[in-house]
Amino acid sequence: MKNNSTIKKYKRIAPFYDKFMGNRLFRKARQQALSEIEVKPGHSLLLVGVGTGEDFSFLPKRNAITGMDLSEDMLKIAERKKNGRNITLLQMNAEEMDFQNQKFDIIVLNLILSVVEHPEKVLEKSFNYLAPEGTILIFDKFIDSYSHPNLIRRLLNKVTSAIGTDINRDFYKIKNALPIDITKEYKTLNGLYTIIVARDSRTTNDISV
C-alpha cells in the first residue's frame, strides 16, 4: 500500500530532510510563501503534512498550530522544534483527515500536494476544515496550468518520483471544481516552485456583494 511505502520512505529521508530543505535559498522561499498569509492573534493554523516542522520558525509564536503527518519519524523531528509553543502534532493520513467540527483560519499545504497519492482528495479534505473567510497557502512544484511537461521535466520527474515527489502535477486539475478563489499565485526559486494563496470563493463572493 502507498501509505506504508511513504512511511518507510520518510523513515529513510527524515534524518537528512533538514539538511537538504533547510538550506538558505529554500528557507528564503519558504519564508516568502509564509509571509503571504496574515496571521492575526487568535487565528488557528493547520499544517497538512507538517514534516519536520520547518514552517514553525516563520509563524507567530502566539498562535495555536496543529500539524499532522503520516510519518512518525518526521513528526519526531518536528516535536523537537516546538520549544514550548502551542503546537499539537498528530500522526494522521491527510487523505482521511478528521477534525470533526473543528475549523482552521489558516491551512498550510507546503510540499504536500506533490507527494500524496490523491492530491485532489487532500485539497478537498483540507478545504472542509477551512473557517469561513479563512486562507489556504500552498507552496509546491506544479507545472503551468494545462501545459504539457517538456522532455526534461518528464525525465526529471522519473528521478523525483523515486523519492516520492511528482513535479508534473497541475494545481488547476487538482483543484478541479472546488469553489476556491485564488487570490495570489506566482513562481519562486527560478520558476520551479509556485506560491498560491486561496480562499473559499463562496465567502469572498459574499464579501463583494
Ligand X SMILES: C[S@@+](CC[C@H](N)C(=O)[O-])C[C@H]1O[C@@H](n2cnc3c(N)ncnc32)[C@H](O)[C@@H]1O
| Grid coordinates of 199 | 480562499
Q: Identify the residue among 39, 45, 46, 49 touching ligand X (CB under 6 A).
A: 49
Identify residue 61 by its one-letter amino acid code.
K
72 binds ligand X (CB under 6 A): no
Give the shortest CB-147-to-ligand X separation in angstroms: 23
Q: Is 146 helix (H, G, I), strand (E, B) or coil?
A: coil
95 binds ligand X (CB under 6 A): yes
Q: Which residue, 6 or 63, is less far from ligand X as judged by CB?
A: 6
Give the shortest CB-110-to-ligand X separation in angstroms: 4
136 binds ligand X (CB under 6 A): no
Dist. CA 205–CA 72, nearest whole Å: 40
Dist. CA 56–CA 60, nearest whole Å: 8
Footprint (CB under 6 A) of ligand X, residues 178-207: none
Q: Backbone phi, then psi, for 108, in 5-degree steps?
A: -110, 125
Q: Which residues pair with 187 in a beta bridge?
A: 194
Dist. CA 101–CA 196, nearest whole Å: 26
Q: Smallest Cα–Cα separation from 198: which of 36, 18, 86? A: 36
Give the shortest CB-18-to-ligand X separation in angstroms: 9
Of 3-11, 37-45, 149-157, 191-199: span binding ligand X (CB under 6 A): 3-11
| Grid coordinates of 26 | 529554500
Q: Which residue, 5 or 150, is less far from ligand X as judged by CB?
A: 5
107 binds ligand X (CB under 6 A): no
Task: Evaluate whether 104 touches 67 at the Cβ level (below 8 Å).
Answer: no
Q: Is 156 helix (H, G, I), strand (E, B) or coil?
A: helix
106 binds ligand X (CB under 6 A): no
Q: Identify the residue among 34, 46, 65, 70 touching ligand X (CB under 6 A).
A: 70
Give the shortest CB-3-to-ligand X separation in angstroms: 6
71 binds ligand X (CB under 6 A): yes
Identify residue 9 by its one-letter amino acid code.
K
Task: Tell me which residues touch ligand X (CB under 6 A).
Answer: 3, 6, 10, 21, 49-51, 54-55, 69-71, 74, 93-95, 110-112, 115-116
